[in-house]
Structure 1
Amino acid sequence: MGRAGNVLVLCNPQTANSFFVSDEQKSGGSPSGQVFDVTILSRLYAFVRPYQGRFYLLVGVILLGAVLAPITPLLIKQTIDNQIAGGDYQGLTLMLATMVGVLVVQAFIQFANAYLSGWLGQHVIRDIRVQLYEKILGLRLKFFDNTPIGRLVTRTISDIETLADVFSEGMAAIAGDILQLVLIIAVMFYTDWRLAAISLSMVPLMLFSTYVFKEKIKASFNEVRTAVANLNAFVQEHITGMNIVQIFSSEKIEAAKFRSINDEHRKANIRSIWYYSIYFPVADILSAAGTGLVVWYGAREILNEQVSFGTVTAFVMFINLFFRPIRMLADRFNTLQMGIVSADRVLTLLDSDDYTVNNGSYTPEKLRGDVAFRNVWFAYNDDNYVLKDISFDVQAGETIAFVGATGAGKSSIINLLSRFYDINRGTITIDGVDVHDYDLTTLRRQIGVVLQDVFLFSDSIENNITLGDPNITREQIVEAAKLVGVHDFIMQLPGNYEYNVQERGATLSVGQRQLISFVRAMVQNPRIIVLDEATSSVDTETEELIQEAIGKLMRGRTAIVIAHRLSTIQKANQIIVVDKGEIKEQGTHEQLLQHEGFYANLYRMQYKEVVGE
């Protein structure tokens, strides 16, 4: 029930990393400027703790894979130098069987690594996503007023999806690669230090090219994310406002804007492709150069009978095993770095304290419905007060109406009653009890709200009425629908109450959506009814139908009504005129007409409009 409507647009979580790019993303680093942010990684580990058994199993599998990596070249060296050179066919069979066994174990390790990392990542991001969404559900409306919806969608979907890669290609994988490099270097120097030195002669160039690639690809990834953010934001806004685009025949202008933004997206992606297309051939050339040097030096030493043929063959394999993790490390570090940035943004949202504090414990089974505002001051921003010293009383069963110009503060009053926002000063009581002392769920269930801008989910009519509450029966829904006068209309739809209204109720008219919102409020059987411009978007015939239903709905309940059409509130027990956040006039319809003030002028203007029609 915010002051402005919000539109939810989902994007591809694999490509759209963010609608909005933070300063950390623009710089391409973690919040602390480090790849290994210990604080964030330790907090992420808290989500791993329920699955720490599988986590440690994954670590063990990765380390075992790193240990087994140098074994195959050593077995081949042994086979060539001993079994083949010595003509030991029985030993050759045994060595081949051993190598097959090692390959089977390595294949199983690869399978276990892929499955365990994927399993762990998906379970962790499921838990984080659930916790984050529950956090968002508890945030107060002021937070949503100041936070674009696209940013929250990004946090909940793509940022959390990025975290899965931290577990599958992040810390554990990097540790495994580094351990593999250390073991291979150790085995190489143990086997032949001269060939080892020659094999590693290309490593400085490889490390330098890897570092340059890492920095360049990091910057290009940020450019891609920025381009994706602009692209998604443009598409979201213009699809939402498509009626305006077509009304003013701006299709060609908007298409030209989209082509320009799309070109930036294309250029950003091509730049990242360019760096990949340079780096991997360079890495292959350096690896091949190292292999060539080993073969050249090894062949000479073989002829001089200083080195065995098996040793040279093993070193050719060592080089391939050594350079492969170096190539992967650049990507893994970027994955980890982007994961750290995403984790920081998710954790920042999880740490937000911008939620409605529910410290109240008062849970009455039923309210009488007495409402009192005492010297209430309220501002959406700290100093810009939209309500100033508001005081009024409504007795149980009475109807109070608020009128005034747009922006006068009428909707803010009803938002405060349900604690969608908290007041700055003053008190609000229901049945003599401060609203802060009520359990928040109990309080809001006793207040039924019908808004001018009705929001319906892409779901059945029944689910839009009950909002998934299993305690509301079909009989209650039908009874409320008949009371409103919408039952016959619903029964004519395909599927009746199971009819899917599509996104935002697009398959229904404005009046039909409004009628369904009345049914939604009525099935809750609240003691206080709030109607915020509830009949301003319907035709005269539908309004008469709703007014009849309103009369039945408000019987025996406290009603708070905001209306532009003064004809709908003439029978209210009291009418309050609000202007610039202050109460200017207060009384019954007849009293205010006699006062000859704002209300009387407004009434005469509307009367002339009706007569003119």
Structure 2
Amino acid sequence: MEYLRPQRSAIILVALIAALGTALALAGPYLMGEAIDQLVGRDLTKLARMSLLMLAAYALSSVAQLIQGVLLAGIAQKAMRNLRAALFERLQNLPLSFFDTRQQGELMSRLTNDMDAISRVLTDNAAQLFTGILTLIGILGIIFILSPWLALGSMLVFPLMIGLVGIVGRLTRTAFRDYQTRLGTLNAVLEETYSGQRVVLAFGQEKAVLERFDAANQEVRTVGVKAMTLALLIMPMMGILSNLNIAVLCGLGGWLAIKGLVTIGTIAAFITYSRRFAEPLRQLGNLYNQVQAALAGAERIFQLLDTPVEPEEATGKELPRVAGKVEFDHLHFSYIPGTPVLTDICLHASPGERIALVGHTGAGKTTLVNLLSRFYEQQDGTIRIDDHDIRNVSRDSLRRQLGVVLQQSFLFSESVLENIRYGRLDAGDEEVFEAARLAHADGFIRRLPQGYDTLLSERGSNLSEGQRQLVTIARAILADPAILILDEATSSVDTRTEIEIQKALNQLMKGRTSFVIAHRLSTIAHADQIIVIDKGRVIEQGTHKTLLARGGTYQRMYTNQFRDQHTTGDRTEEMLQQTRTPDR
């Protein structure tokens, strides 16, 4: 109702047209009864007049229904547009932690299947619901005016009809809610399998994937059969009760006609009204089932709309252009209460410094930069940029100061040009080209079929992993940030491309505070500070030379990596020697 309220005037107009159409439709059986009585009395002139009036009533009723349907479709679709926009906006403002515990396919099911269930009710069924209620009220009034005794006879069956709708409807709603949930799970399986299709094929897991899909599909089928069976019970049971009501009317009406209390035309009108009364009840029973399905979807949609967004502090002010001083002061963080991920982190980065974060997988490196970006909110301790507590500034102004290149590159289904321009939407084409040149991406981009105008497929899958990473680096360069976050930015490129990118990044990092997460320790040898993190704690801190001289964890990591690289190189050379063909 909240999303329909802005269209109150249009809804009132539709209600008036629906009331007029219903009144005209209900006049038909009354005019038919009058026509029968005129036929019995052999008054052909009045018979012709009644017939023409009946024709006009039904024709105008049909026109009213057509106009009402067109207007209601516009109202419903506008409301659905606003609801979809509100849901999408809410998803954009939910914290990252919300998506960590949700499956993408299940969320997409809410945006599609659940929305469709509501749309069908508003577009196709709202008019029937309104006119059905008007019809029931109108018929009740007319039949009591025509013959109170016959009307009371009709009332014997109607309570059974209404009770049936209520009982079956409650059961149906529960079943449809379960159905929508299972359908969301099935969509999640589909989305995950599609996204990981290369992995499925690479490991030959097609059979396992099919079994998983079949299990989810079978659950949808089982719950769907239950929901549809309950929904289909309404119509035949209402038909039985409707026929029972006609039998009652024929017996009671015949007896009253013999006594001279009603005319034959009145009995015919009653039978028609009885059928008309049962028809909206049957429709309402069917609509009730569809409404239950829509309500089940609406519960899931409004559950998202009621999810708290990222809290924006009342004192959240605009962060001015910063020099790049960053301080982590006794920082603590955990995703799950009681399981710390970061413990008492204290770091200081001066403007323009390059800070390398190293450590084993899961040590907490990415979590640290996620907190700096406010993808998650710190729990204890403080993060300051140029002496500004980042909790007291708006997220938008903070993130405009940051340039982020993630380990997993993500590109949109747009042109290469627009993917790079995503870093700064007001950038001109020449600025985009320059950013691509600095990222050493200009060469391969110009060799694409349409160059910078080449459209990328979903997630940029028509580019290699290295090319995708180059485009994301160009995007970060274009953003011209004060602080850079490079999370394994060169991990997916070959050695030659890595050298070229490293040169561009070295140029880019001049004068900017940079946080570099790297597993290849050779790439961070010239960092101003190297921070070694283990199990969420800073265990070593210093330059490359001082840490090597200390002979601690960093020295062991570097020595092991250096030895592994040489071992791999020797094995590769040995394999090449074995495969070479002797000279002839």
TM-score after normalising by structure 2:
0.89
Measure, in 1, the Cα distance between the counterparts of 2:548 and 2:366. Answer: 24
Q: Please state if 1:81 is matched with 2:67.
A: no
Once the two structures are TM-superposed, the CA of residue 173 in structure 1 deviates from its matched residue by 5.3
Once the two structures are TM-superposed, the CA of residue 602 in structure 1 deviates from its matched residue by 0.8
Structure 2 unaligned segments of length 5 or more: list them.
570-584
Q: Is this contact kept in 1: 2:106–2:184, CA < 8 A?
A: no
What residue number does 1:21 align with? none
259-268 vs 516-525, which moves further: 259-268
| Aligned pair partner of 1:454 in 397, 409, 423 | 409
Residues 246-300 of structure 1 show CA distances to partners (whole Å, capped at 9, x for unaligned) of: 3343323433443344344334444445445554233323323333443455456
Residues 494-524 of structure 1 show CA distances to partners (whole Å, capped at 9, x for unaligned) of: 2211212211111111101110010110111
Residues 564-610 of structure 1 show CA distances to partners (whole Å, capped at 9, x for unaligned) of: 01111011111111111111111111111111001111111111122
What residue number does 1:560 align with? 515
| Aligned pair partner of 2:448 in 478, 481, 493 | 493
Distance 1:422 1:210, change over 3 A: closer
Structure 1 unaligned segments of length 5 or more: list them.
1-44
Q: Is this contact kept in 2: 1:448–1:528, CA < 8 A?
A: yes
221-230 vs 499-508, which moves further: 221-230
222-231 vs 119-128, which moves further: 222-231
Measure, in 2, the Cα distance between the counterparts of 1:557 and 1:278. Answer: 70
Q: Amino acid of the residue matched to residue 51 of structure 2?
A: L
Residues 534-553 of structure 1 show CA distances to partners (whole Å, capped at 9, x for unaligned) of: 11122111211211111121
Q: Amino acid of the residue matched to residue 539 of structure 1?
A: D
TM-score after normalising by structure 1:
0.85
Q: Please state if 1:535 is matched with 2:486.
A: no
Q: Is this contact kept in 1: 2:172–2:292, CA < 8 A?
A: no
Q: Please state if 1:325 is matched with 2:272.
A: no
| Aligned pair partner of 1:602 in 554, 557, 562 | 557
Map 1:268-347; keep pairs closer than 5 Å.
268-275=223-230, 278-299=233-254, 302=257, 306-347=261-302
Q: Please state if 1:426 is matched with 2:374.
A: no
Distance 1:469 1:114, change over 3 A: farther
Q: Amino acid of the residue matched to residue 514 of structure 1?
A: Q
Q: Please state if 1:436 is matched with 2:391.
A: yes
269-278 vs 135-144, which moves further: 269-278
Distance 1:555 1:507, change over 3 A: same
- Match of 1:125, SS state, is helix
Q: Amino acid of the residue matched to residue 584 of structure 1?
A: I
| Aligned pair partner of 2:149 in 194, 198, 204 | 194
Distance 1:131 1:243, change over 3 A: same
Q: Is this contact kept in 2: 1:409–1:580, CA < 8 A?
A: yes
Measure, in 1, the Cα distance between the counterparts of 2:422 and 2:525. Answer: 33
Q: Please state if 1:480 is matched with 2:435.
A: yes
Q: Amino acid of the residue matched to residue 361 of structure 1?
A: K
Residues 17-68 of structure 1 show CA distances to partners (whole Å, capped at 9, x for unaligned) of: xxxxxxxxxxxxxxxxxxxxxxxxxxxx332222111122233333444444
Measure, in 1, the Cα distance between the counterparts of 2:29 and 2:2. Answer: 40
Q: Please state if 1:164 is matched with 2:138.
A: no
Measure, in 1, the Cα distance between the counterparts of 2:295 and 2:183. Answer: 20
Measure, in 2, the Cα distance between the counterparts of 1:48 and 1:209. Answer: 30
Measure, in 2, the Cα distance between the counterparts of 1:271 and 1:370. Answer: 62
- Match of 1:585, SS state, is strand
Measure, in 2, the Cα distance between the counterparts of 1:145 and 1:580. Answer: 21
What residue number does 1:117 align with? 72
Q: Please state if 1:548 is matched with 2:503.
A: yes
Q: Please state if 1:56 is matched with 2:12.
A: yes
- Match of 2:272, SS state, is helix
Q: Please state if 1:471 is matched with 2:422.
A: no
Give the CA RMSD over aligned residues. 2.6
Once the two structures are TM-superposed, the CA of residue 471 in structure 1 deviates from its matched residue by 0.5
Measure, in 2, the Cα distance between the counterparts of 1:458 and 1:80. Answer: 69
Measure, in 2, the Cα distance between the counterparts of 1:266 and 1:589. Answer: 61
What residue number does 2:198 align with? 243
Q: Is this contact kept in 1: 2:424–2:478, CA < 8 A?
A: no
- Match of 2:485, SS state, is strand
Measure, in 2, the Cα distance between the counterparts of 1:198 and 1:67. Answer: 24
Measure, in 2, the Cα distance between the counterparts of 1:183 and 1:196. Answer: 13
Residues 456-514 of structure 1 show CA distances to partners (whole Å, capped at 9, x for unaligned) of: 12222122222395411111111111111111211111221121221111111110111
Q: Is this contact kept in 2: 1:169–1:336, CA < 8 A?
A: no
Q: Is this contact kept in 2: 1:121–1:165, CA < 8 A?
A: no
Q: Please state if 1:573 is matched with 2:573.
A: no
577-586 vs 194-203, which moves further: 194-203
What residue number does 2:27 align with? 71
Once the two structures are TM-superposed, the CA of residue 78 in structure 1 deviates from its matched residue by 1.6
Once the two structures are TM-superposed, the CA of residue 530 in structure 1 deviates from its matched residue by 1.0
Once the two structures are TM-superposed, the CA of residue 305 in structure 1 deviates from its matched residue by 5.2
- Match of 1:243, SS state, is helix
Higher RCO, 1 vs 2 (CA within 8 Å, ≥6 residues apart): 1
Q: Is this contact kept in 1: 2:413–2:459, CA < 8 A?
A: yes
Q: Is this contact kept in 2: 1:169–1:332, CA < 8 A?
A: no
Equivalent pairs, count? 567
Q: Is this contact kept in 1: 2:403–2:483, CA < 8 A?
A: yes
Identity %: 36
What residue number does 2:328 align with? 373
Q: Amino acid of the residue matched to residue 72 of structure 2?
A: S
Q: Amino acid of the residue matched to residue 331 of structure 1?
A: N
Once the two structures are TM-superposed, the CA of residue 526 in structure 1 deviates from its matched residue by 1.0
Measure, in 2, the Cα distance between the counterparts of 1:242 and 1:324. Answer: 50
Q: Is this contact kept in 1: 2:109–2:184, CA < 8 A?
A: no
What residue number does 1:402 align with? 357
Q: Amino acid of the residue matched to residue 94 of structure 2?
A: L
Q: Is this contact kept in 2: 1:301–1:307, CA < 8 A?
A: yes
Q: Amino acid of the residue matched to residue 410 of structure 1?
A: K
Once the two structures are TM-superposed, the CA of residue 170 in structure 1 deviates from its matched residue by 7.1
Distance 1:488 1:255, change over 3 A: same
- Match of 1:609, SS state, is helix
Measure, in 1, the Cα distance between the counterparts of 2:121 and 2:5. Answer: 15
Q: Please state if 1:183 is matched with 2:138.
A: yes
Distance 1:239 1:597, change over 3 A: same
Residues 412-451 of structure 1 show CA distances to partners (whole Å, capped at 9, x for unaligned) of: 1111212111211222222222223333222211110101
Q: Amino acid of the residue matched to residue 592 of structure 1?
A: L
Residues 49-90 of structure 1 show CA distances to partners (whole Å, capped at 9, x for unaligned) of: 2211112223333344444443111111122213x3444444
